[in-house]
Amino acid sequence: MIIDTLFLYLIFSSAVFVYGIGLKRVIVFSNKPKNVLFQMFRMVITICISVFVCRGITLLFLVPARLQELFPFVCILFTYIFSLLTEKLFEYIFHIETKEISITICSVLIAVNEGLDMIHSIIIGTSCCLSFFLVLPILYAIRSRLHYSQQQIDFKQGALIFLSIAIIMLVLFSLNVSWFNLGVA
Protein backbone atom coordinates (compact mmCIF):
# COMPACT_ATOMS: atom_id res chain seq x y z
CA MET A 1 0.00 0.00 0.00
CA ILE A 2 2.91 2.34 0.65
CA ILE A 3 4.42 1.62 -2.78
CA ASP A 4 1.02 2.27 -4.38
CA THR A 5 0.80 5.64 -2.65
CA LEU A 6 4.35 6.51 -3.68
CA PHE A 7 3.74 5.76 -7.36
CA LEU A 8 0.31 7.40 -7.33
CA TYR A 9 1.58 10.76 -6.11
CA LEU A 10 4.92 10.50 -7.91
CA ILE A 11 3.77 9.63 -11.43
CA PHE A 12 0.06 9.10 -12.05
CA SER A 13 -1.32 11.83 -9.79
CA SER A 14 1.73 14.07 -9.98
CA ALA A 15 1.39 17.28 -8.00
CA VAL A 16 2.81 19.21 -10.94
CA PHE A 17 0.28 17.85 -13.43
CA VAL A 18 -2.87 17.37 -11.34
CA TYR A 19 -2.69 20.25 -8.87
CA GLY A 20 -0.43 22.52 -10.91
CA ILE A 21 1.98 22.90 -8.00
CA GLY A 22 5.17 24.45 -9.28
CA LEU A 23 4.24 24.26 -12.95
CA LYS A 24 5.61 27.72 -13.72
CA ARG A 25 8.58 27.11 -11.44
CA VAL A 26 9.47 23.82 -13.14
CA ILE A 27 9.39 25.49 -16.54
CA VAL A 28 11.68 28.28 -15.35
CA PHE A 29 13.90 25.89 -13.39
CA SER A 30 14.27 23.51 -16.36
CA ASN A 31 15.96 26.27 -18.35
CA LYS A 32 19.14 26.19 -16.23
CA PRO A 33 18.92 23.56 -13.52
CA LYS A 34 21.62 24.10 -10.94
CA ASN A 35 21.98 22.75 -7.42
CA VAL A 36 19.09 20.39 -8.09
CA LEU A 37 20.22 17.72 -5.64
CA PHE A 38 20.74 20.20 -2.83
CA GLN A 39 17.37 21.80 -3.54
CA MET A 40 15.65 18.41 -3.58
CA PHE A 41 17.37 17.23 -0.40
CA ARG A 42 16.48 20.44 1.47
CA MET A 43 12.86 20.34 0.33
CA VAL A 44 12.44 16.68 1.30
CA ILE A 45 13.89 17.33 4.76
CA THR A 46 11.64 20.36 5.24
CA ILE A 47 8.56 18.47 4.06
CA CYS A 48 9.21 15.46 6.29
CA ILE A 49 9.72 17.58 9.40
CA SER A 50 6.79 19.87 8.60
CA VAL A 51 4.38 17.02 7.86
CA PHE A 52 5.36 15.26 11.08
CA VAL A 53 4.84 18.36 13.21
CA CYS A 54 1.73 19.65 11.42
CA ARG A 55 0.00 16.28 11.35
CA GLY A 56 0.76 15.84 15.04
CA ILE A 57 -0.57 19.29 15.95
CA THR A 58 -3.66 18.73 13.83
CA LEU A 59 -4.48 15.37 15.40
CA LEU A 60 -3.53 16.22 18.99
CA PHE A 61 -4.82 19.76 19.32
CA LEU A 62 -6.98 20.94 16.44
CA VAL A 63 -9.26 17.93 15.94
CA PRO A 64 -10.17 17.50 19.66
CA ALA A 65 -10.92 21.23 19.90
CA ARG A 66 -12.95 21.05 16.65
CA LEU A 67 -10.67 23.60 15.00
CA GLN A 68 -9.54 21.44 12.10
CA GLU A 69 -10.34 24.30 9.72
CA LEU A 70 -7.18 25.99 11.00
CA PHE A 71 -4.80 23.27 9.80
CA PRO A 72 -3.76 25.21 6.65
CA PHE A 73 -2.65 28.12 8.84
CA VAL A 74 -0.67 25.75 11.09
CA CYS A 75 0.89 24.05 8.05
CA ILE A 76 1.91 27.32 6.43
CA LEU A 77 3.33 28.71 9.66
CA PHE A 78 5.44 25.68 10.61
CA THR A 79 6.51 24.93 7.05
CA TYR A 80 7.73 28.49 6.65
CA ILE A 81 9.68 28.27 9.92
CA PHE A 82 11.27 24.91 9.05
CA SER A 83 12.01 26.06 5.51
CA LEU A 84 13.88 29.10 6.80
CA LEU A 85 15.82 26.94 9.25
CA THR A 86 16.87 24.39 6.63
CA GLU A 87 17.69 27.16 4.15
CA LYS A 88 20.02 28.87 6.63
CA LEU A 89 21.52 25.50 7.57
CA PHE A 90 22.29 24.69 3.93
CA GLU A 91 23.76 28.14 3.38
CA TYR A 92 25.98 27.71 6.42
CA ILE A 93 27.12 24.13 5.70
CA PHE A 94 27.25 23.96 1.88
CA HIS A 95 27.46 27.68 1.01
CA ILE A 96 24.65 27.20 -1.49
CA GLU A 97 21.51 29.26 -1.75
CA THR A 98 18.37 27.13 -2.00
CA LYS A 99 15.19 29.17 -1.92
CA GLU A 100 11.85 27.56 -2.68
CA ILE A 101 8.85 27.76 -0.38
CA SER A 102 5.70 27.49 -2.51
CA ILE A 103 6.19 23.88 -3.58
CA THR A 104 7.08 22.90 -0.02
CA ILE A 105 4.01 24.55 1.49
CA CYS A 106 1.64 23.07 -1.10
CA SER A 107 3.16 19.60 -0.68
CA VAL A 108 2.71 19.78 3.10
CA LEU A 109 -0.90 20.92 2.72
CA ILE A 110 -1.70 18.04 0.37
CA ALA A 111 0.08 15.54 2.61
CA VAL A 112 -1.65 16.56 5.83
CA ASN A 113 -5.03 16.78 4.12
CA GLU A 114 -4.91 13.50 2.18
CA GLY A 115 -2.80 11.27 4.41
CA LEU A 116 -4.44 8.41 6.27
CA ASP A 117 -1.79 8.25 8.96
CA MET A 118 1.63 9.74 9.69
CA ILE A 119 3.58 7.40 7.38
CA HIS A 120 1.23 7.95 4.44
CA SER A 121 1.31 11.70 5.00
CA ILE A 122 5.10 11.76 4.89
CA ILE A 123 5.13 9.56 1.77
CA ILE A 124 2.55 11.77 0.05
CA GLY A 125 4.49 14.94 0.87
CA THR A 126 7.78 13.44 -0.27
CA SER A 127 6.19 12.08 -3.45
CA CYS A 128 4.70 15.47 -4.31
CA CYS A 129 8.12 17.06 -3.90
CA LEU A 130 9.89 14.36 -5.90
CA SER A 131 7.31 14.59 -8.70
CA PHE A 132 8.48 18.18 -9.21
CA PHE A 133 12.06 16.96 -9.65
CA LEU A 134 10.94 14.03 -11.82
CA VAL A 135 9.44 16.44 -14.35
CA LEU A 136 12.63 18.54 -14.55
CA PRO A 137 14.72 16.19 -16.75
CA ILE A 138 11.75 15.61 -19.04
CA LEU A 139 11.22 19.33 -19.57
CA TYR A 140 14.96 19.93 -19.87
CA ALA A 141 15.08 17.32 -22.68
CA ILE A 142 12.08 18.90 -24.40
CA ARG A 143 13.63 22.35 -24.05
CA SER A 144 16.98 21.23 -25.47
CA ARG A 145 15.26 19.37 -28.31
CA LEU A 146 13.29 22.49 -29.19
CA HIS A 147 16.48 24.52 -29.10
CA TYR A 148 18.17 22.27 -31.69
CA SER A 149 15.13 21.96 -33.96
CA GLN A 150 14.16 24.42 -36.63
CA GLN A 151 11.02 25.92 -35.10
CA GLN A 152 8.77 28.40 -36.82
CA ILE A 153 8.98 32.05 -35.88
CA ASP A 154 5.26 32.09 -35.03
CA PHE A 155 5.70 29.65 -32.15
CA LYS A 156 7.33 30.66 -28.92
CA GLN A 157 9.25 28.10 -26.94
CA GLY A 158 7.02 28.51 -23.87
CA ALA A 159 3.90 27.65 -25.86
CA LEU A 160 5.51 24.49 -27.23
CA ILE A 161 6.61 23.47 -23.72
CA PHE A 162 3.06 23.90 -22.39
CA LEU A 163 1.78 21.87 -25.33
CA SER A 164 4.31 19.15 -24.51
CA ILE A 165 3.18 19.17 -20.86
CA ALA A 166 -0.43 18.78 -22.02
CA ILE A 167 0.51 15.76 -24.15
CA ILE A 168 2.40 14.19 -21.23
CA MET A 169 -0.64 14.72 -18.99
CA LEU A 170 -2.90 13.15 -21.61
CA VAL A 171 -0.66 10.08 -21.83
CA LEU A 172 -0.49 9.67 -18.04
CA PHE A 173 -4.21 10.16 -17.48
CA SER A 174 -5.38 8.02 -20.41
CA LEU A 175 -4.48 4.92 -18.40
CA ASN A 176 -7.23 5.74 -15.91
CA VAL A 177 -10.16 5.76 -18.32
CA SER A 178 -13.26 3.87 -17.28
CA TRP A 179 -13.62 1.76 -20.43
CA PHE A 180 -10.16 0.29 -19.88
CA ASN A 181 -11.22 -1.01 -16.48
CA LEU A 182 -13.13 -4.24 -16.82
CA GLY A 183 -14.84 -3.82 -13.46
CA VAL A 184 -14.99 -5.95 -10.38
CA ALA A 185 -15.87 -9.56 -11.09
pTM to 2 decimal places: 0.83
Q: Is the dihedral of CA 47, 50, 52, 54 positive or negative?
A: negative
pLDDT recorded at residue 71: 93
pLDDT recorded at residue 185: 46
What is the chain's percent helix, strand, coil content, to nearest 5? 80, 0, 20
- First-to-last C-alpha distance (Å) of the chain: 22
Q: What is the distance between the alpha carbons of residues 134 and 80, in angstroms, rounded to a whole number?
A: 24
pLDDT by residue, tens only, the chain of 185 residues: 788 888 888 887 788 888 888 888 888 777 777 788 888 999 999 999 999 999 999 999 999 999 989 999 999 999 999 999 999 998 999 888 777 888 999 999 999 999 999 999 999 999 999 998 888 888 888 888 877 776 665 566 677 777 888 888 777 777 665 555 555 44
